Amino acid sequence: MALPFKLKFMNLFNDASSYMGEVAEVVLPKLTRKMEEWRGGGMARPVMIDQGGEALTLEWTCGGIMRDVLKQYGATKHDGVQLRFAGSYRAEDKDDPLAVEIVIRGRHSEIDMGTAKVGDDTAFKVVSQISYYKLTIDGEILIEIDALGMVEKVGGVDLLLKDRKAIGMA
């Protein structure tokens, strides 16, 4: 029997700035595929055809107003902001934690400065759209996605290499 690895500690970095003590919550990007139903002649039932990945988003909340983030609003480049999530996941039946790192590049599509009421929580929420994503666990790169470079690596295998070659990009 084993126990699951649970997040015990985390931090978020915006470029080189640490948000230790300021970041309250990070909604990590959901990896989704766009699937299309296909049923051709002679098929008894449809199959789902993979049409590539869906857009990636990172949502995060800080305890109060974040000047650096406001200065990044309206970044003109698709990868104008780099964020790095660092998490320490621990299982109660293991001695060592898993070091989980997610590096993204993108830009903010939404900044919600929250409700201004004295004595209440002043949550500062940000939604960041991602054009580059890399998930590393204990130093092993598990997933790397570069939307503009047409790169999708999973477990060290470049899933789109042959497609890039087929269209003259590799």
> What type of residue is 116?
A
Rounded to an integer, what distance in angstroms lies between the CA atom of residue 75 and that of residue 77? 6
Q: Which is it for strands 151-154 and 157-158: parallel, antiparallel or unpaired?
A: antiparallel
Rounded to an integer, what distance in angstroms lies between the CA atom of residue 84 and that of residue 122? 23
* The predicted structure's pLDDT at residue 58: 98
CATH node for 6-30+53-139: 2.40.30
Q: Is the pLDDT reported for residue 162 higher than 90?
A: yes
Tens digit of pLDDT for each residue in 28-72? Answer: 999 999 999 999 999 999 999 999 999 999 999 999 999 999 999
Confidence of residue 94 (pLDDT cuts 50, 70, 90): very high
* The predicted structure's pLDDT at residue 1: 78
> Could you tell me the two tokens for 71?
């200065």
Half-sphere exposure of 131 (CA within 13 A, CB side): 13
Predicted TM-score (pTM) of the model is 0.93
Tens digit of pLDDT for each residue in 97-151? Answer: 999 999 999 999 999 999 989 988 899 999 999 999 999 999 999 999 999 999 9
Rounded to an integer, what distance in angstroms lies between the CA atom of residue 108 and that of residue 32? 20
Question: Are the C-beta atoms of 119 and 41 separated by less than 8 Å?
Answer: no
Taking CA atoms, 133 is separated from 42, 157, 159, 169, in Å, by: 40, 15, 15, 20
Write down the domain spans for the chain.
6-30+53-139
Confidence of residue 16 (pLDDT cuts 50, 70, 90): confident
